[in-house]
Amino acid sequence: MIFSANNISKSYKGSMTIENVSVGIEKGEIVCLLGESGIGKTTLFNIMSGLEKPDSGKILLGGADITGLPGRVSYMLQKDLLMPYKTVIDNVSIPLVIKGQDKQSARKEAQKLFDEFGIAGYENAYPNQLSGGMRQRAALLRTYLSHKDVILLDEPFSSLDSITKMEMHQWFLEIFSKLSISALFITHDIDEAIFLSDRIYIMSMRPGRITSEIFVNAKRPRNADFTTSAEFNEIKKKIIFSLAMK
């Protein structure tokens, strides 16, 4: 595994939130963490990103122990968190400035990817001038520029309407393939999990535990036809059955 959480447990005020959770991604994979609200998925991501420390267990990146060390992987929260008083180009280049680049060189480096991320022409716009889908593209570009190898995404498309979400799914798979990203994302949406993922971890129970792992072997590129295929529906049945057995 290029990046993994190993036997992670965490409690708050004496109450166990997640217990003995192990998940990971191989290079070039998209992996999903699927489960209902309130079972510790975001807590796990906070630990994997280094924002929180576990009570027990380790986080490994490329074999190195990075437990409790922030800034080693990219992490995009549910909200895009674009700064309203900064232009799009200045929003997305923030990670490069934090790394020590001057603003001009950071803007130039970010600019190279605006076309790839579908936001060319909006460099000098402000976040309130963008649609929901465009804001998410900008936020994903900013996340990618933080650390390009591994990205954690906490419900990245949950705020979008169903039509925009479908378009973003297709686009995400295309950009993922071009840039060789490895991604682990959280969702409550079963269809989204199947369409985007190579593997799906089912997290359930309280405290949160991984109860099953489901493989999606469908080849890419995937399109809307996949969502009505027998293969898709068979995977969906397995997920529903797994969730029902918690």
Look at residue 206 in the predicted model and tell me its pLDDT: 83
Look at residue 245 in the predicted model and tell me its pLDDT: 75
All domains in the chain, ordered by first residue: 3-73+149-244 (3.40.50.300), 80-146 (no CATH)
Do 182 and 61 form a contact (C-beta atoms < 8 A)?
Answer: no
pTM above 0.75, yes or no: yes
Look at residue 246 in the predicted model and tell me its pLDDT: 61
Do 141 and 107 form a contact (C-beta atoms < 8 A)?
Answer: no
Please give the structure tokens belonging to residue 111: 């600019």
Cis peptide upstream of residue 221 (ω within 30 degrees of 0): yes
Residue segments in the chain with a per-residue pLDDT below the cut of 50: none
Look at residue 233 in the predicted model and tell me its pLDDT: 96
Cis peptide upstream of residue 207 (ω within 30 degrees of 0): yes
Q: Which residues pair with 10 in a beta bridge?
A: 18
Strands (E), the chain: 3-12, 15-25, 30-34, 56-61, 64-65, 74-76, 150-154, 182-187, 199-204, 209-215
